[in-house]
A = this chain, B = another copy of it.
């Protein structure tokens, strides 16, 4: 392998995941002499750093260089041209959750620019965009990797691809796909002890930083629905959108339209009795309630919502905010292949991005 090989890296987004990724990229670039990893472009939505001769941007200083920069970001078509004009292979790292950037993936991929992203946007929107993205990648040979879009750095997407690509028959996928929902139900309905009131658990989770600023953005189930959409499409189901299957929202109808997350939290105790009854119903069967997503491949049924589980089951025994994903396949028979661990957090999400980048550069 010639040491002259080089890969140009363009990064958009330096939020929580983006910052962790920069740290991992810095280590990686120091450890691996070949191919040479050159940061050639970095931007937020407001600022950017790049140069017409693709001069390497020092990774360790990139955030302060970016803060001091007076360059505006390139438009997406201009970024495609910028990366294509270099003689080196290029990778776009999209650490945003921007729908606009997601829509532009096909234009990068069709020009041979590989993309790595933890975002769900491109893969859980319209089915047409999904098709456009993967047909563009197929045609050009560019890589489109998004391991961290489901279960953060857990090897969920790569494992599912291996099962499908090697010809196994995936029959069912089931799991806890949201760190927030995991944390809430592990506290609200623990396998031993009685747990707290629902509204208190939601409040506590928000204070600990486990929820979105408005907890309704977790409780509506759409984050889980988007992840299920991605997995279902990988096994070959043509899911039109995350709204194309039943998703149980945990937002009481009466609180859907209250103005703020704070008002929502203030009024949530009015509905504790309803959630207590959900918990009690499970307890009467010796079970606990959990918020899960499942895909039944044969019947093409995808659904997201509350289900009861035996206390001794792997799903019930989950700890903290962990995710768990079970793949039932023909080869694996009655006991599924299970992957479990942290499914959110900056470092583990960035880990999936870095692992994907490693795969891209191994082809360089």
The 8 Å CB contact of A332, one of B314, B336, B348, is: B348
A153 shortest CB reach to chain B, Å:
7
| B166 and A354 contact, CB distance less than 8 A | yes
Instruction: Report the contact-size class of chain A (Cβ under 8 Å from the partner).
Output: 35 or more
| B348 and A331 contact, CB distance less than 8 A | yes
| B340 and A166 contact, CB distance less than 8 A | no
The 8 Å CB contact of A335, one of B27, B31, B153, B320, is: B320
| B339 and A339 contact, CB distance less than 8 A | yes
For A333, the chain B residues whose CB sits under 8 A away are 342
Q: What are 5 A-B interface contacts by the 8 Å CB criterion?
A: A24-B166, A166-B351, A317-B317, A332-B348, A338-B340
Interface residue stretch chosen among A61-69, A155-163, A198-206, A284-292: A155-163
| B28 and A167 contact, CB distance less than 8 A | yes
A298 shortest CB reach to chain B, Å:
19
For A27, the chain B residues whose CB sits under 8 A away are 167
Residues of chain A at the chain B interface (Cβ within 8 Å): 1, 24, 27-28, 31, 141, 153-155, 158-159, 162-163, 165-168, 191, 312, 314, 317, 319-320, 322, 331-342, 347-348, 351, 354-355, 358, 362-363
A344 shortest CB reach to chain B, Å:
12
For A167, the chain B residues whose CB sits under 8 A away are 24, 27-28, 31, 354
10 other A-B residue contacts (CB within 8 Å) besides A1-B141, A332-B348, A336-B341: A24-B167, A31-B167, A154-B337, A155-B162, A166-B355, A314-B317, A320-B334, A331-B347, A338-B341, A340-B340
| A337 and B331 contact, CB distance less than 8 A | no
For A155, the chain B residues whose CB sits under 8 A away are 155, 158-159, 162, 339
Given the known interface contacts A162-B355, A167-B31, the answer about A342 and B338 at a Cβ–Cβ threshold of 8 Å is no
**In the bound complex, what is the Cα–Cα distance between A229 and B159 (angstroms)?**
24
The 3 closest A-B pairs by CB, nearest first: A337-B341, A338-B340, A166-B354
**In the bound complex, what is the Cα–Cα distance between A339 and B336 (angstroms)?**
11
